[in-house]
Structure 1
Amino acid sequence: MKKKTFIIIYIYIVPNSIFVFIIIIIIIIIIIFILNIYSFRVYQINPEEKKTVFVFHHGAGLSGLSYALLADYLKGLNNNQCGILCYDCRGHGKTYTSNDEDLSLNTLSQDLVNICTTLYPDPTTEFILVGHSLGGAIVANVASKQMLKKIFGLIVIDVVEGTALESLVHMQNVLMGRPTSFKSEAEAIEWSITSHTIRNIESAKISVPSQLAKINGKTGVRYIWRANLTASEKYWEEWYQGLSEKFLTTRAPKLLFIASPDRLDKPLTIGQMQGKFQMEIFPECGHLMNEDAPEKLATVLNEFYNRNKAFIPKRFVIPLRPTEHATAPPKK
């Protein structure tokens, strides 16, 4: 009975090209829908040889394009020796998942691991994890738990556990102080500069549009914030709880960028005095250091790589047969 039904359908479809066309369109729509349910927007620069990869995780409300200028400078300084990977985390930018509201520390950490292992399946790939603000908490969590096999470096940009937790009580007021929508992307870019959120117009032109979502309202087209940070409040404390310990106990070489040494908490102050990590201070920058001074940060990142690459174990091809070397006859 089933076989007969299949044959009847097959005979009916073939002569009707319009019906076939409609079926194909429906299938394509279903495929696109499935892909959009779980798809991450990735920005990638592949090196000549996939040995070491810088993986950048952005802060809350931002996108992978907040590293656009920094990545470009780093590629030039590094002569394309290292790969560069930036991406929009879930609920941000052009990334869409089946649950964009799940911004828990474990979920965001696992997302990073899944992306890295998918794009770089070679188990010998070394990763240098770089994170700004929330991204710093994510990469520190991944590194401390050794969720990736080979972590060559851990770099955190302007986030410290003590000051981050203290500032959470003011975060809702900060979010309420932002415009809820803009008439155009240009207006949003202008606001980011005049509010001193970003201090680099070239970076703002690239990164700000990716933080917005276009909607058609009663008054016409408006641009709202893509990420719903207010709804993520329940995760704020867990993002930063234990961050200093995770950072300090990671075995890989560590680097901390901050705008002021006053932002260090007690564990990091002690750790810095003990020489447990490298610290770079950029007082001329705001919170978005990677956007305010991308060339300077890229220079430090490149120096960090060059200084520590000697500790990366070299990979040699093991010959199938041992090589015999001629030896001199023993002396009489």
Structure 2
Amino acid sequence: MFRKPPRPHSTSQSSLIGGSSGKSSETLPPCGAEAPSIATYFDSTHDVTVPASNGTFRVYQNFASSGPLFIFHHGAGHTSLSWALVARLLKNRSQPCSVLCYDCRGHGATQTGDDSDLSLTRLSGDLVNILDVLYETLPADIILVGHSMGGAVVVDAAASKAFKSLLGVVVIDVVEGTAMESLAHMQVYLRNRPASFASIREAVDWSTLGTIKNRDSARISVPSQLKEATNKDGDKPWVWRADLNASQVHWKGWFQGLSKKFLSARAARLLILAGTDRLDTELTIGQMQGKYQLVLYPESGHTIQEDEPEKLASTLWEFWDRNGPGKIIKRFPIPIPVKSVAAPASAPEH
């Protein structure tokens, strides 16, 4: 059995910060207009001190006494709340499962001693360190799920000795080849992205025009990506929390070797893409060899978990149901062709 952290009496942020980073917790901006409260999506929202990572991490959880544990890692610039709709759908299934999401360093309400260190080694180490604080013994039925940069993080963490038994690894809309090619265009995207917004509603409106198709999700996720900052005119525009420009030094390190590590993961593997054009050569060959399951959402944008939460929740549960413990893999025997044997020569007539 594994130990779950005690449930807080409410979903308000509980005071679990021990000061390893020397900073106090920061409250996220309110959700977008008419958006449900975070309590609609998660049983618990709290801050967890992680001494090995020198920081306090904002953690969102749903609890169940049985079933799998889905651990979600968001992409660069996003936060745990990009998984909110998926977490609620998994929570409301008739069969139980647990969910764990957290804001990685430099993102959301998480604060560490060095928020600028977004190297792959540091991020995957943070994941392992957080689990070490939350669980005395890891459950056997763990499925790691990562979007974009988060996909690289969960694949790297899957190779850690911390996971003696890992059921599955799910990567959402990122492959090594196309990711490396697109890095040249990232600076252009960041230059064209608004640096600040007059209001949260304006930020949500901008996001739904290009990056997120589902406004219900954007009203939850976008506010958590922002913070209030006073400018020279005395106004208080909303600016991005994560400094993606400063993270450029880590971009190549996130994705180099991703395909090979994914294909060699000691667990069931699922790759979810918004289009087949994102497959690189190594993954194309791996798909032909049946090394992983591939699911396509051609109607979705890059943030699949926000654009298509219902489909993604169903896909994740089917992946668990197909690969869960005790499942018997049906084997189909390959018929061996019988070699033709020459008929014996007839006995000579007497």
TM-score category, normalised to shorter length: 0.7 to 0.9
SS of residue paired to 2:298:
coil
Alignment equivalent of 2:60, drawn from 40, 43, 49: 43
Taking structure 1 as the reference length, the TM-score comes to 0.81
Distance (whole Å) between structure 1 residues aligned to residue 135 and residue 129 of structure 2: 10
AA at the equivalent of 1:208: V
Instruction: Name the counterpart of 1:57.
Output: 73
Q: How far does the alpha carbon of each residue in 1:174-216 deviate from its partner, in whole angstroms, 9 at most, with x for none?
A: 111100000111110000011x200000000000000001112
**1:104-253 to 2 correspondences below 5 Å:** 104-194=119-209, 196-219=210-233, 220-253=235-268
Alignment equivalent of 2:106, drawn from 79, 88, 91: 91
How many residue pairs get aligned? The number is: 283
SS of residue paired to 1:256:
strand
**1:296-315 to 2 correspondences below 5 Å:** 296-311=311-326
Q: How far does the alpha carbon of each residue in 1:7-61 deviate from its partner, in whole angstroms, 9 at most, with x for none?
A: xxxxxxxxxxxxxxxxxxxxx9989945557210000011124x63100000000
Inter-CA distance 29–72: structure 2 relative to 1 (3 Å threshold): closer
Instruction: Name the counterpart of 1:273.
Output: 288
AA at the equivalent of 1:205: R
Distance (whole Å) between structure 2 residues aligned to residue 65 and residue 92 of structure 1: 11
Inter-CA distance 243–45: structure 2 relative to 1 (3 Å threshold): same
Instruction: Name the counterpart of 1:20.
Output: none
State which structure, 1 or 2, has the greater radius of gyration over its C-alpha atoms: 1
Inter-CA distance 157–78: structure 2 relative to 1 (3 Å threshold): farther
Instruction: Name the counterpart of 2:276.
Output: 261
AA at the equivalent of 2:63: N
Inter-CA distance 31–249: structure 2 relative to 1 (3 Å threshold): closer
SS of residue paired to 1:90:
coil
Distance (whole Å) between structure 2 residues aligned to residue 294 and residue 30 of structure 1: 36
Inter-CA distance 123–205: structure 2 relative to 1 (3 Å threshold): closer
Per-residue deviation, 1:170: 1.0
Distance (whole Å) between structure 1 residues aligned to residue 18 and residue 137 of structure 2: 33
Distance (whole Å) between structure 2 residues aligned to residue 97 and residue 312 of structure 1: 41
Aligned structure 1 segments of 4 or more residues deviating by more than 2 angstroms: 28-37, 123-126, 144-150, 310-313
Inter-CA distance 119–285: structure 2 relative to 1 (3 Å threshold): same
Per-residue deviation, 1:117: 2.0
Per-residue deviation, 1:311: 4.4
Taking structure 2 as the reference length, the TM-score comes to 0.77
Inter-CA distance 31–261: structure 2 relative to 1 (3 Å threshold): closer
AA at the equivalent of 2:257: G
Instruction: Name the counterpart of 1:284.
Output: 299
Per-residue deviation, 1:124: 4.1
Instruction: Name the counterpart of 1:13.
Output: none
Q: Which runs of 5+ in 2 are unaligned?
A: 1-16, 26-53, 329-350
Identity of aligned residues (%): 52
Distance (whole Å) between structure 2 residues aligned to residue 294 and residue 160 of structure 1: 21
Inter-CA distance 252–29: structure 2 relative to 1 (3 Å threshold): closer
Inter-CA distance 312–230: structure 2 relative to 1 (3 Å threshold): farther
Per-residue deviation, 1:308: 1.1
1:77 aligns with 2:126: no
Contact 1:123/1:149, CA 8 A, preserved across alignment = no
Contact 1:152/1:312, CA 8 A, preserved across alignment = no
Distance (whole Å) between structure 1 residues aligned to residue 287 and residue 159 of structure 2: 18
Inter-CA distance 277–202: structure 2 relative to 1 (3 Å threshold): same
AA at the equivalent of 1:44: Q
SS of residue paired to 1:229:
coil
SS of residue paired to 1:216:
coil
Inter-CA distance 158–30: structure 2 relative to 1 (3 Å threshold): closer
Contact 1:77/1:302, CA 8 A, preserved across alignment = no
Distance (whole Å) between structure 2 residues aligned to residue 39 and residue 122 of structure 1: 21
Per-residue deviation, 1:120: 1.9
Instruction: Name the counterpart of 1:14.
Output: none
Instruction: Name the counterpart of 1:25.
Output: none
AA at the equivalent of 2:302: H
AA at the equivalent of 1:41: R
Name whichever structure is richer in helix by fraction.
Answer: 1
Contact 1:78/1:302, CA 8 A, preserved across alignment = no
